[in-house]
Amino acid sequence: MATPDSGNRSQLSGRTFTAVDLVATALFGFEGAAAAAQTDLDILGILVVGFIVGLGGGILRDVLLGFLPPASLRSSSRVVAALTGATVAFVLVGLADAVPATALALCDAAALAFVAIAGAEKAFGMGCSIVVTTVIGGISATGGGIIRDVLLGRTPYVLSQSVYGTAALAGALVVAVTLTYLGRPAVALWSGFVATFGLRTLAVLLDWQVPHLT
């Protein structure tokens, strides 16, 4: 079975990949719990939502790539990251009553970007084509948000906020193309992050939407 650090294609080092994955997990855990805290869920419900959202994207990515059991279940590091993010969100909401909408949007954009580039990098390292790498990055990045919105009983952002999945796909595509033609993982990482985070942030601030049919 291939691992995220195997193969002869240009990849991030194992430590760098794990660090990116852990940051993504913690950010989605924070964002999921912060969003849940704005509903009528109790303490346990808030932490559970944050925990599930934090791990959801990475698990979906690994299942799609056949990397089983998922990295989240191979060690406790990602579990701890998700719980830490959720706990921090709960504490901050308890102190400030609510996390500002802009801060929450920025956190979501950062989490989206980190998961997109991690998913794309891992898919590329396992031999996927540019198209498949892009799709895997986009699906894994939006997976956590879909889980969050379903648990909170609202229309998923990927369906209602059109520059959400688009931003994730853009970052994943940048990673795939950069790794294919330049073979420089660090450049691919930061370029993909900037593409997703920048596009999603601008969409939130400027209310960008992909044109609708009606």
Q: Is 47 exposed, middle or buried (0-12, 13-18, 19+ CB in 10 A)?
A: buried
Query: Is it the case that residue 33 has pLDDT exceeding 50?
Result: yes
- More confident: 170 or 144: 170
Q: If pLDDT is split at 50, 70 and 90, which confidence band does 212 have?
A: low
Helices 14-37 and 77-96, interaxial angle, to 10°?
Answer: 30
| DSSP letter string, 63-113 | HHTT-SS-GGGTSSHHHHHHHHHHHHHHHHHHHHSS--HHHHHHHHHHHHH
Predicted local distance difference test score (pLDDT) of residue 11: 60
Q: Is the pTM of this model over 0.75?
A: yes
Q: What whole-number distance in Å separates Cα of residue 15 and Cα of residue 165? A: 27
**C-alpha torsion sign, points 132, 149, 197, 190:** negative
Place of tokens 């990251």: 81
- More confident: 160 or 144: 144
Predicted local distance difference test score (pLDDT) of residue 210: 67
Predicted local distance difference test score (pLDDT) of residue 88: 93
Query: Is it the case that residue 2 has pLDDT exceeding 50?
Result: no
CA dihedral 84, 90, 93, 98 (to 10 degrees): 100
Tens digit of pLDDT for each residue in 45-73?
A: 999 999 999 999 999 999 999 999 998 98
Tens digit of pLDDT for each residue in 88-132?
A: 998 888 776 667 778 888 888 999 999 999 999 999 999 999 999
| DSSP letter string, 52-77 | HHHHHHHHHHHHHTT-SS-GGGTSSH
